[in-house]
Amino acid sequence: MLQGTVKFYDSNKGFGFISCETEPDHYFRMENVKEPRPPKDGDEGTFTSKPSNRNPIADNVKFIRGNTSKSTSHRTTREDGRVVCTNCQKLMVPRIKFTNHRPDYSFCPHCFEKHKTRERTTGEKVAPWIFLAVFILFFINMATQ
């Protein structure tokens, strides 16, 4: 196993280079990475080397989050809005389920596990009671006439 640092990573094209002290730069694609999260420039990692015509290829890449000061949680929000699903561990953009034209909860599009339930607002909690009070007052008024 070799160790190196991500020199460059293009998230749009899904490839990058890992630099080693003892070896030339290694090329890698996202399918060679054994994590659901793409790397960032400066991340350290371990990998195995495979020969190639141009640059050697890094395979079985596992990154150690080196340059991050935040703790990595399963629900950390990334810069692009994606989060890691707590059930299937895949990167996802949560989808929102609507009920009665209001957002109800968000879920993972890969495994359909509930991600986050929306809290009801104070108005939504109080509205049924106000409706019931008005309904009762209306019938009391009708009964007294």
Q: What is the mean pLDDT of residues 45-52?
A: 88
Q: What is the mean pLDDT of residues 32-59?
A: 84
Percentage of the chain beyond pLDDT 90 is 6
In a domain, 35, yes or no: yes
132 pLDDT above the threshold of 70:
yes
At residue 74, the pLDDT reads 43
At residue 31, the pLDDT reads 84
Q: What is the mean pLDDT of residues 34-51?
A: 84
Query: Is there a single domain that holds both residue 48 and residue 104?
Result: no
70 pLDDT above the threshold of 80:
no
At residue 66, the pLDDT reads 53
DSSP 38: P
- The structural domain count of the chain equals 2
Last residue of a domain, one of 64, 90, 109: 64
Structure tokens at 100: 């009665």
pTM metric for this prediction: 0.44
Three state DSSP letters for 70-125: CCCCCCCCCCCCCEECCCCCCEECCEEEEECCEEEEEECCCCCCEEEECCCCHHHH
- Greater pLDDT, 16 or 120: 16
Q: What is the mean pLDDT of residues 98-109?
A: 84
Q: What is the mean pLDDT of residues 109-137?
A: 83
Q: What is the mean pLDDT of residues 117-123?
A: 72
Nearest-CA neighbor of 57 among 35, 38, 95, 30?
Answer: 30
Domain that holds residue 128: 74-145
Nearest-CA neighbor of 27 among 3, 13, 8?
Answer: 8
The dihedral of CA 66, 69, 72, 77: what is its sign?
negative
Query: Is there a single domain that holds both residue 79 and residue 137?
Result: yes
User: Hunting for tokens 């150690």 — which residue is that?
Assistant: 64
115 Cβ contact list (under 8 Å, min separation 6): 83, 85, 86, 94, 105, 106, 107, 108
